[in-house]
Amino acid sequence: MADTYCFIKDLINDLERGRIKIPSFQRGFVWEPNRVAYFIDSIYKGFPFGSVLLWRTKNPLRTERNLGPYRLPENDPEYPIDYVLDGQQRITSIFGIFQNSLIAEEDKGTDWTNLFFELNSKESVPFKHLNDFTNYDNQKFFPLKYVFNSPKYRQLTRNLDESLAQQIDNLVEKFTKARIPVERFESEERKYVATVFERINRQGVELDTFQLLSVWNWSEDFDLQEKFKELTEELQPFGFKEIGSDLLLKCSSAVVMNRADPENFMELPGSAVREKFYEIRTGIFRAIDFLKTDLNVFSLKLLHNGEYLNCSHGIFRFFTKTASPYFSRSI
């Protein structure tokens, strides 16, 4: 794994060319405007803010996520792709604040991108979000969108007082020289990438293995994420409104492999999951039927939280202990 540094402008260029992408198992952009402002201020002041982890591969993923409100262009197939495993919020913030090439998709919030540097500010953080990007006092504010737009930058500073122009010159110089720490590794081994991603998220944002598994998109007509969504909706009438994908994943692994090990589940060919999904779905509903007929549990809504948890895990244990013989006689 190599440790490198990337200038902000180079990072933006790679994103604009589609050389850096967001894998679909990442969650979306969630930072609040104030957090974006503090992050930009950290870059401005040279504070440490952590490295970005990129996974380089020659095989593009079947599905990818937008970078916040922006749809990234396709990459030149002659070049490998760097998928962001850690640092998506930081990369999205940098791109949204400084880029000028891509237009956000409709109905996507972009207020957080209207970040300005306040001239002669006495505040500890001299960066402010303004609601109106086009109507502002240029004697007081400078839009960060023009830091790397030389023609617009020169136009805005041409008639300013020398002291104000110097503040903007210093601002531009700091962001031009700022470097983003980047860690990059190359691998075509999915299990290795899965392990790296899981360990990263144990330390930060909690993401389950299912989100990672879904990215491999078993086929054009079978999306594991969509199948689990449909299954969850079907389970809601019985009181499984809050059921998580982790439990469903463990049930699936128990059916297909007779053990609940998501990492080994990743090694299965897509065809095995597709062929067994009917058994997975049927088994879950028959397990619920078992709760109704043998345990007289007709609705989880009647249970307390602790009993709900025990009941949910009871279904899982039912799968792991009886999956093979149960299915052989029931399907």
Please give the mean pLDDT across all residues of the chain: 80
pLDDT at 324 over 60: no
- Does residue 37 sit in helix, strand or coil? helix
Higher confidence at residue 107 or residue 298? 107
In terms of domains, do 126 and 180 share one? yes
Q: 277 is in which domain, residue-wise?
A: 208-330
Q: Averaged over 263-272, what is the pLDDT?
A: 64
Question: Pick from 129, 154, 186: which residue ends a domain?
Answer: 186
CA–CA gap between residue 34 and residue 299 (Å, rounded): 44
- Count of the separate structural domains present in the chain: 2
| Helix ranges, 57-161 (H) | 88-98, 150-157
Residue 281: count other Cβ atoms within 10 Å of its Cβ: 18
Q: Averaged over 26-48, what is the pLDDT?
A: 93
Residue 195 lies in a domain: no
| Helix ranges, the chain (H) | 8-16, 33-45, 88-98, 150-157, 162-177, 190-203, 209-214, 224-235, 245-257, 262-265, 270-295, 305-330
How close are the terminal C-alpha atoms of the chain, in Å?
A: 48
CA–CA gap between residue 13 and residue 34 (Å, rounded): 25
In terms of domains, do 239 and 314 share one? yes
In terms of domains, do 176 and 258 share one? no
Which region among 174-188, 215-229, 237-251 has the lowest average model confidence (pLDDT)? 215-229
In terms of domains, do 58 and 100 share one? yes
In terms of domains, do 8 and 85 share one? yes
Q: What is the pLDDT of residue 119?
A: 95
**115-118/141-143 β-pairing:** antiparallel
The amino acid occupying position 10 is D
In terms of domains, do 14 and 69 share one? yes
Name the one residue in this structure whose structure tokens are 């609705």.
299
CA–CA gap between residue 185 and residue 3 (Å, rounded): 9
Residues 4, 189, 21: CA angle, nearest 5 degrees: 50
Q: What is the pLDDT of residue 23?
A: 85
Q: Averaged over 250-263, what is the pLDDT?
A: 72
Angstrom CA distances, 128 to 40, 83, 133, stand at 11, 31, 11
Residue 196 lies in a domain: no
CA nearest to 65, candidates 18, 26, 113:
26
In terms of domains, do 179 and 59 share one? yes
**52-57/179-186 β-pairing:** parallel
By the 8 A CB rule, do 207 and 27 touch?
yes
Angstrom CA distances, 159 to 89, 139, 154, 208, 210, stand at 36, 10, 9, 54, 56
In terms of domains, do 215 and 114 share one? no
Residue 64 lies in a domain: yes
CA nearest to 272, candidates 257, 285, 259:
257
- Does residue 227 sit in helix, strand or coil? helix
Question: Pick from 186, 220, 241: which residue ends a domain?
Answer: 186
Name the one residue in this structure whose structure tokens are 């930009």.
40
Residue 203 lies in a domain: no
Question: Torsion angle of alpha carbons 119, 129, 6, 173, nearest 10°?
Answer: -10
In terms of domains, do 308 and 226 share one? yes
**52-57/20-23 β-pairing:** unpaired
Residue 202 lies in a domain: no
Residue 90 lies in a domain: yes
pLDDT at 221 over 70: no
Task: Specify the pTM.
Answer: 0.70
By the 8 A CB rule, do 108 and 69 touch?
yes
Residue 201 lies in a domain: no
In terms of domains, do 151 and 48 share one? yes
pLDDT at 256 over 90: no
CA–CA gap between residue 103 and residue 31 (Å, rounded): 19
Higher confidence at residue 154 or residue 190? 154
In terms of domains, do 61 and 171 share one? yes
Higher confidence at residue 250 or residue 98? 98
pLDDT at 148 over 50: yes
In terms of domains, do 136 and 8 share one? yes
